[in-house]
Structure 1
Amino acid sequence: MTSLPLHQPDCVLDLRATLGEGPVWISAEDALYFVDIVEAKIHRFHPVTREHRTWSAPDRVAFLLPVADGTFLAGMPDGLRRFDPRTGHFSDHTTVEATKPGNRLNDGCVDPHGRIWFGTMDDGEELPAGSIYRIVHDGDGLQITHHDEGYTVSNGPAVSPCGKILYVCDSPEQTIYAFDIQSDGELANERIFARLQHGYPDGIVTDSEGTVWCGTWGGGRVARFRPDGTELPPVPMPVTNVTKVAFGGEDLKTVFVTTARKGLDAETLAKEPQAGSLFAFRTDVAGASQHVFRLNGGKLNKGA
């Protein structure tokens, strides 16, 4: 898809998802995986062949994070499951936040050390009940560690290419926070990285130079920030609800963008008929490589 124009989005899959989210590029398959949270669907798109496949999930899937064995760790409303695209099977349920039934998992990422960072949110998007967690392995399997709290809608998260900075959004606050990741995986030095003036920060990723790329819910663009927080010119999008980007293609310079129809009225949808579809454009800086999570013995056996 190198024929795509620079920073000029083109609709590459006219899907019209209710809530398209969580794109991840899997180089071994030359394919993009992403989800429709509301419709409980998982999608795989091969940009060269335009082949598109869909799986139905047993519940809403907020994120898919790749595992070294070819499966994914799926963030479900009440916890984590393994998803195997070769069989379509979901297994190994691990509960997260059992004492907070009003919460659900939202977004996640894998850092350069192979650790997973993910957040939770109030499903009603009203209470500051969400938190940030980290998953690593010890000798017994998964270890889920709580790090920060007070998020109404946690989003992102993303980690710098060097693995030393964690970025996390609190979407209703229009704020992206940054933390230093210490050598033991603990977080320190919480600070405001950026505030959005138009729209709400949704999913975020970093490119190979450390620039932060942020989908903007209600903002109609992909916002970009240098590592020092300086805002770069955004990439305008033809739809209002822009959720997240992923870098893909052979050179990781194709930017795939998920979008959503959720929350748009009939008048807006008439103007934006492709809202919820998958878009793509080219950029001049490669994205950071997609990291994978290695499971110890293939089992999920600890809850939080």
Structure 2
Amino acid sequence: MSDTQVLLSGLAFGESPRWHQGRLWFSHWGTDEIIAIDPQGKSKVVARVPTALPFCIDWLHDGRLLVVSGREGLLLRQESGGELVTHATLSHLAPIWNEIVVDGRGNIYVNGGGFDAPGVIAVITPDGTVRQVAEGLAFPNGMAVTPDNKTLIVAESHATCLTAFDINADGNLSRRRVWADLAGLAPDGICLDSEGAVWYATVPGMCCVRVKKGGEVLQRIQLDRGCFACMLGGQDKRTLFMLAAEWHGFEHMMDQERTGKILIANVSVPGVGWPS
């Protein structure tokens, strides 16, 4: 904790952090809020969504906000007037949906599956087509796409590994393989840096860890509570934002005190790829 600073406290559960237009945006689980916070710690509710959790965010290339409404199986899109409309329906592919990443070609990847069901990944292509592109994942969480748009990496929490797929020209995924075995630590949110390493957040490990392909640990930032997600941002993409909270199980997510925080640490290698 000595290398970190508190940017914001008093949260329920922060998730899905994204660096966008000079601010950190994130989903405030347990409320219906999407919040943006500037580097000085000034925060603002920028949108409200019709669900409590899970919901995660990213953007279309034209700047419109996308929101995964997880329990409803919907991908929502915010229009210029602020209203949320349905961009795609996902409920026919899985009962609950979680994380999202939009790659550099405009393909939208969303994962889900349910607590006791095998996880899946769906793609929504720029023409609006929705299809499943991966299955059999062990509780998929954070996802990231490499800067060349050739590889998607997904955190498999219950398999304690990072899994990689090739991204084909049509948006389909192929050549599934273990990108890094995390030695029993369950990964949640992830982000990429310019040396090809992945930062991953882990709730049971109460830390944020930087690993290279194969699983070698390059850096670890230990926290005093579970780390749910991380994102590299700031003016030079060298600020690591870590969203953390005390964890007492899914059954207590809505009735516990607000122990959520956003913590920041300076790192030497900038972030790249998607989400940004």
Pair 1:126 & 2:116 matched: yes
Pair 1:281 & 2:265 matched: yes
What is residue 135 of structure 1 aligned with on the other side?
124
Shift of 1:197: 2.8
Q: Which of the pair has more CA radius of gyration?
A: 1
Structure 1 counterpart SS, 2:158: helix
Which structure 2 segments of 5+ residues have no match? 251-256
Which structure 1 segments of 5+ residues have no match? 266-272, 293-304
Shift of 1:290: 5.1
* Structural mapping, 1:1-304, within 5 Å: 8-17=3-12, 19-26=13-20, 28=21, 30-48=22-40, 50-54=41-45, 55-59=47-51, 60-77=53-70, 78-83=73-78, 88-92=82-86, 94-98=88-92, 100=94, 103-122=95-114, 125-128=115-118, 130-138=119-127, 142-239=128-225, 241-263=226-248, 275-288=259-272
Q: Which amino acid aligns with 1:52?
A: S
Tell me the percent identity. 28
Deviations 1:180-239 (A, max 9, x none): 223333222211122223531101111122211111121111122213443323222232
Q: Which amino acid aligns with 1:225?
A: V
Structure 2 counterpart SS, 1:14: strand
Alpha carbons of structure 1 residues 93 and 215: separation in structure 2 relative to 1, 3 Å: same
Alpha carbons of structure 1 residues 182 and 225: separation in structure 2 relative to 1, 3 Å: same
**RMSD (CA atoms):** 2.5
Is contact 2:106–2:126 with CA below 8 Å preserved after alignment? Answer: no
Structure 2 counterpart SS, 1:132: strand
Is contact 1:161–1:210 with CA below 8 Å preserved after alignment? Answer: no
Alpha carbons of structure 1 residues 16 and 37: separation in structure 2 relative to 1, 3 Å: closer
Is contact 1:15–1:278 with CA below 8 Å preserved after alignment? Answer: no
Structure 2 counterpart SS, 1:172: helix
Q: TM-score, normalised by structure 2?
A: 0.86
Shift of 1:169: 2.0
Is contact 2:17–2:25 with CA below 8 Å preserved after alignment? Answer: yes
Number of aligned residue pairs: give it.
266
**For 1:283 and 1:274, how far apart are their aligned partners in 2?**
28
Give the structure, 1 or 2, with the largest relative contact order (CA under 8 Å, sep 6 or more): 1
Deviations 1:47-95 (A, max 9, x none): 23x22112432113521102244321100021111135x7543223532
